Amino acid sequence: MPTRFETTLTDALIERFTSSGDWKNLTLLDYLEHWSAQRPDAIVTRDPYGAHTFAELSSDADTCARALVDLGVEPGDVVGVQLPNWYEWLVIHLGAIRAGAVTNGLIPIYRDREIGYMAEKAEVSVLFVPNRFRKFDYADMVDRLRPNLPKLQHTIVLDTPGETRFTGRDGFEKWADFLNRGQQNSASDDSRSAASAIESIDWDDRRPDPNDVGLILFTSGTTGNPKGVMHTHNNVLAAALPWPDHLGLDEDSVIHMASTFGHLTGFMYGVCLPLLIGGSGVFQDVWNGEDFVRLVAEHGIQHTSGATPFLHDLLEVAKTTEHDLSSLKHFCCMGAPIPRVMVNEARTLLPDLNVFGGWGQTECGLVTMTAPGDSEDKVTSTDGRALGSMKVRVVDPLGEPVAAGVEGKIQVTGPFLFVGYLDEPEQSAEAFAGVWLDTGDLAEMDDEGFIRIAGRSKDIIIRGGENIPVAYIENVLYEHPAVSQVAVVAVPHPRLQEIACAVVTLNEGHSLSMDDVREFFDTKGVAKQYWPEALQCLDEFPRTPSGKIQKFKLREEVTAEHVS
């Protein structure tokens, strides 16, 4: 693994979590090889465009690995994947593991501004994108970004069914042509020679150690630019492994995922979990409640995870659907509290369904969770208690643990923790107090170990389970010529729970409308989900005696106006 992956991993940590059994010293490829031998013809994935068996996934991952090597990918190189929840996401990730590469998962809604920063930071050498998805042209975006991505050598384009097919152009390669690189049986002598050269590669030598960095995901950038969170194969799989025991999942389980694989939630419980247990994954590339209930009835989905708005949509559809939803047993809500009314409504409409929640971060996976057997009060008023071997504590400003029921900062430690921020050793060190990760969230803990998230010490808005990076959005707004000062605050929303409101003061002689803001964010290439959805222009901001903007007063004022 290249030395540029400077991590916080130590021999002591490796020994500790290996001895405890939390780290199995396996990669996801090991699990695929096991299940493709045990259950070759069993369905492992269903996406909107087809179903695939363990044997097919294993074969396709091998082809992908050979193609990556043919492109010149070396162990430790970073492969960027900005794809929807398609079968090919798994193929690329598993192929990258076999080739010794590192996967950088990139969320499909990201646009020029986010991808330009992340792909450059991660030094992505091969990037996989759709041609068009949800009316956005990704190849055009790559063309715009290419001058600032000197490490990017190859861009592979996948067609979206129903969209205009990619015809190819300089700097890009079609997915089918990429796979042809990895085919062993080629008609031409040159191709056979190339295939022979690829087959002479020592694959065992390329195979990563489970303690190598295998995944890079970027945070939401709560205090500036996003940070690249590095996970090893061991720690990220450890975060998914408690689920089978906790929820009774096994090789007969059917698991649904609509959250993007570029999020840690989607990656662990969509990409990884079905392979860990030998079960089956059913994926949606775009969430839709009506499509979901059809999939439940068609495939017998038993478990799903997603943000609270997904549960809201399911319950709305459940009121009128004729589909059989009796197979659905678990709905784990993440990213926002579960309103008690939703839990009660779920028990009425779907009596076989257990609704429960959890809390976690990109740096540590899902750390706490309620369980199907927990009381309604615990499910609706807490974020659960520690999973597996993870430990959680609440501390005061001096880092001392506080008594039960007292609010403080949440710190966590254990086998799920990331191994540092990419090329940010100082920030990696600052994130820890000894072995404890300072999460930046505030909570109180009861005497049974259940935590209640009380707020965030970081400035962030959670829109439908998606983190909206406030400082990042404010920095974009400051670039607008009409804006003098800006503060972005949360306002309540009936479905998404929170949306971003831009509160601004204007430069003399300027005006600003909501349409102006939308047009500006579009030209800046900012992901649409990050755009402010409300705007308020003030003559001046409320401030402290030292001049700091009093955001709590802005929230009160904006919320009162928004609700009225």
228-456, what's its fold? Rossmann fold (3.40.50)
* Sheet order of strands, 154-158 included: 173-174, 154-158, 124-130, 78-81, 102-105, 213-218, 228-232
Q: What is the per-residue pLDDT for 199? A: 63
- The angle formed by the CA atoms of residues 401, 405 and 406, to the nearest 5 degrees, is 50
Residue type, 103: T
User: How far is 249 from 277, CA to CA, in rounded Å?
Assistant: 7
Residue 189 confidence (pLDDT): 41
CATH 3.30.300.30 fits 460-563, yes or no: yes
Q: How far apart are CA 114 and CA 376, in angstroms?
A: 40
Tell me the HSE value of 476 on the side-chain side, using a 13 A CA sphere. 25
Per-position DSSP letters for 298-346, written without gaps between them: HHT--EEEE-HHHHHHHHHHHTT--S--TT--EEEEESS---HHHHHHH
Coil, strand or helix: which one is 97?
Answer: helix
Same CATH topology for 228-456 and 460-563?
no
The amino acid that residue 459 corresponds to is D
Q: Where are the beta strands (DSSP E) in 135-274?
A: 136-137, 154-158, 173-174, 213-218, 228-232, 254-257
Contacts 24+ apart (CB under 8 A), 40-45: 42/251, 42/278, 42/280, 43/280, 44/274, 44/275, 44/279, 44/280, 44/281, 45/87, 45/90, 45/274, 45/280, 45/281, 45/282, 45/283
What per-residue confidence (pLDDT) applies to 262?
96
User: How far is residue 495 from each of residues 312, 465, 466, measured CA to CA in Å?
Assistant: 7, 11, 13
Q: What is the biggest distance separating any 2 CA atoms in the chain, rounded to whole angstroms? A: 78
Quote the pTM value: 0.85
SS3 category, 284: coil
- Match domain 28-207 to its CATH number in 3.40.50.2300, 3.40.50.980, 3.40.50.620, 3.90.650.10: 3.40.50.980
What is the domain partition of the chain in residue ranges? Answer: 28-207, 228-456, 460-563
Q: Tokens at residue 227, please? A: 């940070």
pLDDT in tens, the chain (564 residues): 444 699 999 999 999 999 999 999 999 999 999 999 999 999 999 999 999 999 999 999 999 999 999 999 999 999 999 999 999 999 999 999 999 999 999 999 999 999 999 999 999 999 999 999 999 999 999 999 999 999 999 999 999 988 889 988 899 999 999 999 999 643 344 544 555 556 688 999 999 999 999 999 998 755 568 899 999 999 999 999 877 777 889 999 999 999 999 999 999 999 999 999 999 999 999 999 999 999 999 999 999 998 877 898 999 999 999 999 999 999 998 766 677 778 888 999 999 999 988 899 999 999 999 988 888 888 888 889 999 999 999 999 899 999 999 989 999 999 999 999 999 999 999 999 999 999 988 889 999 999 988 755 556 788 887 778 776 788 789 889 999 888 899 888 888 888 999 999 898 899 999 999 999 999 999 989 889 999 999 998 887 554 557 777 888 888 887 665
Q: Which residue has the tokens 């029921």?
A: 405
How far from chain centre, in Å, is Cα 547? Answer: 37
Among 410, 372, 375, which Cα is nearest to 390's?
410
